[in-house]
Amino acid sequence: MVHDPKHTFLFDNYEKADLEDTLDKIKFFSDLELGMSMEEMILEHKTLSSIFMPVCTFDDSSKENQNKELVSALEGIIYPWFGVGYRVDRIQYSFENSAKDGVDHSREAILHAQKLANLFVDEARLSGNMYDFVS
């Protein structure tokens, strides 16, 4: 964790130790090798780092090419913009290929994915935008 969870929207109902324990148990389905390192975000992408605050990082020391900390979750500093570097939907709904693609469907992973999905939906409901029904 980059920040104390109580100072974030994504993880505000967790204590830091509990959140780190939960996130350590979950095997995220993602190719974070294509992500952005914390160093790149802060030093090279100053405009991006003035809009978004990194909340979590990911580091897989078991992979040879994974020797840097990658940003895995971020939040908007001013606006309610969120981003995660892993597939929250695959945790909850992709059971048919789970043995092949290694998606974690543990209780902890599903609860984590549901919490993030609920946050995204609740934030979207705050918008006044309306869409016509399409049948």
For the stretch 56-113, pLDDT in tens is 877 766 666 555 777 888 899 888 888 887 778 877 887 776 666 667 788 888 888 8
Amino acid (one-letter) located at 92: Q
The answer to whether the CB of 68 falls within 8 A of the CB of 48 is no
Count, residues in the chain: 135
Give pTM, 2 decimals.
0.71
Residues 6+ apart with CB under 8 A from 19: 1, 5, 11
The domains located in the chain, with CATH, are: 5-125 (3.40.50.880)
